[in-house]
A and B are shown apart, each in its own frame.
Chain A
Amino acid sequence: MRLFQKKKQKDLPSFWNHYSNQFKGKLPVNVNENKFVIFDTETTGFSFDKDRILSIGALKLINKSILVKESFEVYISQTHYDADSAEIHGILKKGRKECIAEVEALERFLSYIKNHVLVGHHVMFDVTMINEVLKRNGLPKLKNQTLDTGLLYKRTLLTATVLQKKEQYSLDDLAEKFSISKKDRHTALGDAYITVIALLAILDKLKPKNLSDLIKRQKPSKFGL
């Protein structure tokens, strides 16, 4: 009677197995011993089923330092193209950037992020976008833990009932607050850079005890204060 026998695993490509095997170990407890991958995607729009990723940019933060040459930047060739959003990200359908296929970008991205914590501004959007790509390629979802600088930033603000907090803070708001240059805004890697600097400033303010404390801090506090 093997009622609870697991569904047989589909044959997954080796790059996925390699990625997924890294989650067997635990992440370091100390925040600074962790590697963070700060990433951003530029997409043709905001619809998860219709729109496509045009580029992914990512940086690795190790002990408060970023190695420029270890940054990640790919442009993806897509058939779906939306002229409206091109005005924002400036990526032309037949742009000059060298483009690669979606599945290759995915493979490279997974081997780059490993089991590190993923950080983004409103990160769930980018994670969901990537998960859609994974799904289209017959793969499971991302397994990494995530941090959202939008939520964390809100926790750094003073709390008094009189002070109306905004519902959401945009990346531009943060760039302004922490005087980060908005050059390269709306390129995936440029936005990732703004996000990482904001993250560093936020960490300095929040001073989390350890990684799980930091992840917990994204949730609004219990007492509304």
Chain B
Amino acid sequence: MKNTISERVADFLKNFPPFNILEEGQLQRLSYEVSIVYKENNSIIFTENEAPHEYFYVVHKGAIALAKKDTTNILDICDEGDIFGLRPLMAKENYKLEAKAHEETILYAIPIKEFKPIALENKRVGDFLIESFASNTRNPYSLKHSGKLYGVSNSTDTNPESKLLDLQPVRYSTNLVTCTESTKIKVVANTMTINNVGCILVVKEGLPVGIITDRDIRNKIFTGLVPITGTAKEVMTSPVITYPKELTITQAQMAMMKSNISHLCLTEDGTPETPAVGILSKHDVMVAIGNNPAVLMRAIKRCNNTKRLRSIRHGVMNLLRGYLDENIPIELISKIISELNDATIKQVIKIVIKNMDAEPPVRFAWLTMGSQGRSEQLLNTDQDNAIIFEDVPKNRHKETTDYFLKLGAIITKELNTIGYEYCPAEMMASNPLWCHSLGEWKEVTTHWISNPGPDEVLLSSIFFDYNVTYGVKKLTDELSKHIFESVKKHPLFLTHLASGALQNPSPTGFFRDFLVEQDGAHKDFFDLKLRALMPLIDAARVLILSHSVKSINNTAERYKKLAELEPQNKEFYLACSYASKALLKFRTIQGLLHNDSGRFIALDKLNKEEKIKLKRTFKTIKEIQDLLQIRFQIKNILG
């Protein structure tokens, strides 16, 4: 009754409740009966009102979104180890929510027939289930409540979000930073700084006796009340106000307001007589309330593991959705979301460097390219990135390159963890072709510019939208300077780049209809990226490069700048700027709707107004292609 796969399943399940309280024999028996189910992104596991399956599910890898049908309001995201779809099976009722794969997902389907006897036989499992159903949390035993158990009291349809907020358990920090009463204040302050926390718990024999917050230090030490040479005991606030860990967001808010404090200490049974299990700060509450860019930004910056960043990214996507619903200008939206994306990547890099065996041997910069470099990446698309590092003497070159390649490989892997797909063409810093010293990059770009074949044009058009996400900007400034000089020396390059920009046929066909894809997986879909966005993006790049303007990467902004530089074409360039914004917004909305990159659009799903809006941008695209054609005399090289 055991094989390598059932052992593997058991090994995974035993880390999560209620499986962690099963006896070994029970777990083995159960694991043997499991089916491993693969779900593509956006595929449905069950829908609202569907009769219950014979299984309930545990997420092995990926994420499942639970939502009311036909709404974009996701009520819960189930992550690795989370159970869903169990309650309707136990209660013998239909599913109350729709479960849909939020990304590629592997599920363990556990047959209820096998599980039920175990639940009945093992009292602790039964208790777990009763408690989790009753307390409305998915997992009452875990320290971090990650959400609600699926299918509970969401029957009232009106504004589920505000309803949920009252009931949602808070997510608090279990990473307790503590000291004793006799700890010196200086040490206390240092500990808080190192751990980047706003409060420290004073414990005596394992029990909380006091708490020191930033405010205590300000109020008691800087005012001279307690000398800097004093001890924790003298500055701490005591007794500690404690609460049980099963606290909802609303309760937590009330508690903080009532006592005018910013941190709550959570203990095992809610009294100071049991050990502390966590600290809940005002900030945590804010994060739970959620969709506020400043809160998300702080959450990102405080994050010290990439897994947590992944869940913060769900918040960013929710924010994006909210902005689009409220019709906030896309310019503003893309600025805010790009800042958050940028901060996320920075944080990933910081975390990775901290965990490396050695510091970077020389200074370097992390470049993001493509849409991210242009601050046009609102949805999670794939990664395009590169590393540039300072020149080193020849004898140290190999080891330095090796270090940065390794760094690049880990960073791209972690970026993948938080939801950025790998670049299918490997244009990533983990690839030796995209990880060079400044000197090497100069050679590479010179080569592209002086020998502009189709590959070189393709590569440079991806590369030239680079933006420094992390590290030393001076390096890229020097590279930019070098690129502009080379372009001046080889004017033909611009012609080739312009001709590359004309590769993508304009979006309308002979009868002013949409050109749709002819074959492959996206047959009959309109390729918004290739046919509408790329021609505009590519054209903007050539034109801005021909004016030697650096550090404007965003396409809409490039056209605005061009309108300034060429007053005679002002109206036209502003139209291009508008078109690129409109298309970006269009793509983002489509992507959120279908939880993908928004690139391919099923035309029959668009309404008349949307089609007209799209077509309006096409005229501009046609005209910008004509302009390139004439200005760079493309015909000469095509012949």
Contacts and interface: CB of A to CB of B under 8 A. Distances in A.
B36 A161 contact: no
A197 interface: yes
Interface stretch (A12-20, A67-75, A106-114): A67-75
Interface stretch (A115-123, A138-146, A181-189): A181-189
A59 B34 CA distance: 13
A64 interface: yes
A68 B9 contact: yes
A13 to B, nearest CB: 27
B130 interface: no
Interface residues of A, number: 31
A179 B424 contact: no
Contacts of A64: 37-39
Contacts of B41: 204
A150 interface: no
Interface string A192-206: 010001001100101
Contacts of B426: 163
Contact of A73 (B3, B106, B416, B521): B3
A71 B35 contact: no
* Majority SS at the chain A contact face: mixed
Contact of A71 (B3, B33, B425, B459): B3
Contacts of B608: none
A82 to B, nearest CB: 22
Contact of A68 (B6, B459, B521): B6
Contact of A65 (B32, B38, B416, B521): B38
Interface string B322-350: 00000000000000000000000000000
B8 A65 contact: no
A193 B36 CA distance: 10
Contacts of B38: 64-65, 197, 200
Given A160-B455, A183-B8, A190-B4, A68 B35 contact: yes
Contacts of B109: 65
A162 interface: yes
B31 interface: yes
A158 interface: yes
B36 A66 contact: yes
Given A64-B39, A69-B6, A158 B424 contact: yes
B5 A189 contact: yes
B104 interface: yes
Contacts of A158: 424-425
A65 B35 contact: yes
B455 A193 contact: no
A207 interface: yes
Interface string A142-175: 0000000000000011101111000000000000
B104 A68 contact: no
Interface string B478-496: 0000000000000000000
B422 interface: yes
A26 interface: no
A187 B104 CA distance: 26
A65 B36 CA distance: 5
B37 A189 contact: no
B458 A68 contact: no
Contact of A160 (B40, B106, B425): B425
Interface of B: 3-9, 11, 31-41, 61, 104, 106, 109, 416-417, 422, 424-426, 455, 458-459, 521
Given A66-B5, A193-B4, 5 more contacts: A163-B425, A163-B426, A184-B4, A187-B4, A204-B41
13 contacts: A59-B5, A65-B35, A67-B35, A68-B34, A160-B455, A160-B458, A162-B459, A163-B426, A184-B7, A189-B5, A190-B5, A190-B8, A204-B104
Interface of A: 57, 59, 64-69, 71, 73, 156-158, 160-163, 177, 179, 183-184, 187, 189-190, 193, 197, 200-201, 204, 206-207
